[in-house]
Amino acid sequence: DGGITQSPKYLFRKEGQNVTLSCEQNLNHDAMYWYRQDPGQGLRLIYYSQIVNDFQKGDIAEGYSVSREKKESFPLTVTSAQKNPTAFYLCASRARTGLNQPQHFGDGTRLSIL
Amino acid sequence: SQKIEQNSEALNIQEGKTATLTCNYTNYSPAYLQWYRQDPGRGPVFLLLIRENEKEKRKERLKVTFDTTLKQSLFHITASQPADSATYLCAPYNAGNMLTFGGGTRLMVKP
């Protein structure tokens, strides 16, 4: 079955540490996205990528970095510069054919501070 | 600034009744709007899409309306069941080919 796999499901970060969240898709989608979800708030866009080797900042990119070296992979690094990283992180992908294509989401990674 | 408003308070209804969830948006002219369902600890799942030139869209027990004059979309679940309990997110499509998500409304259907 095609889908999006995020790992790990739970992650703990120490002060001053960078951590990387994995996102892999086998849907052959060109576009991929990273969102942050805080309790009671909507999904906020961190970074997105429309094509391999290209990505753009979203609304809250500060303290985060991404890479898109392969079509199926879009890892997110939460750097030590992100002072409030505790949140639920969601990865999504979308086919580029047709502007109204829905986004397909993984089941998220919950990041907490130790 | 662009804003999406969904009722942050949970909606509690009895099984068998129709649930109606509201999505209001300001400073948007979305070409279309999507609705998603999110269960606790899971990613959102796409339910329905409605275009600006469509007044209403149906899928089984789900119905979505889109009023571009009122800047509002309504999401209805008829004959609701406890399994419909979840958080429902609306997402207007804005310029630049991006979706923007509302905070969601939690629906609780009691047997």
DSSP string, A1-45: ---EEEE-SEEEE-TT--EEEEEEE-S--SEEEEEEE-TTS-EEE
Contact A92 B42 (CB under 8 A): no
User: Using 50, 70 and 90 to split pLDDT, how confident is the model at A108?
Assistant: very high
Q: Which residue of A has its CA nearest to B10?
A: A40
pLDDT value for B96: 64
User: Using 50, 70 and 90 to split pLDDT, how confident is the model at A39?
Assistant: confident
User: Using 50, 70 and 90 to split pLDDT, how confident is the model at B1?
Assistant: confident
Residues A41-85: pLDDT tens digits? 889 999 999 999 999 999 999 999 999 999 999 999 999 989 899
Of A45, A102, A107, the CB nearest to B43: A107
pLDDT value for B97: 60
CB A72 within 8 A of CB A78: no
Residues B70-92: what's their mean pLDDT?
96
pLDDT value at B95 more than 80: no
pLDDT value for B27: 85
Residues of A in contact with B43 (CB under 8 A): 4, 6, 90, 92, 105-108
What amino acid is encoded at A111 in this protein?
Answer: L
pLDDT value for A97: 64
Of A43, A102, A106, the CB nearest to B46: A102
Contacts for B36-39: CB closer than 8 Å, 24+ residues apart:
B36/B88, B36/B89, B36/B90, B36/B91, B36/B101, B37/B86, B37/B87, B37/B88, B37/B89, B38/B86, B38/B87, B38/B88, B38/B89, B38/B104, B39/B86, B39/B87
- Determine the residue among B32, B88, B101 to mutate to test chain A binding: the one whose Cβ has the most chain A Cβ atoms within 10 Å: B101
pLDDT value for A98: 64
Sheet of B56-59: strand order equals B3-6, B19-26, B72-77, B62-67, B56-59
CA-to-CA distance for B77 and B99, rounded, in angstroms? 23
- Determine the residue among A43, A47, A49 to mutate to test chain B binding: the one whose Cβ has the most chain B Cβ atoms within 10 Å: A43
Question: In chain A, what percentage of residues exceed pLDDT 90?
Answer: 80
CA-to-CA distance for B49 and B99, rounded, in angstroms? 12
Task: Write down the mean pLDDT value for chain B.
Answer: 92
Tell me phi and psi for residue B83, to 5 degrees.
Answer: -70, -15
Residues B59-78: what's their mean pLDDT?
96
What amino acid is encoded at B19 in this protein?
Answer: A
Residues of B in contact with A105 (CB under 8 A): 43-45
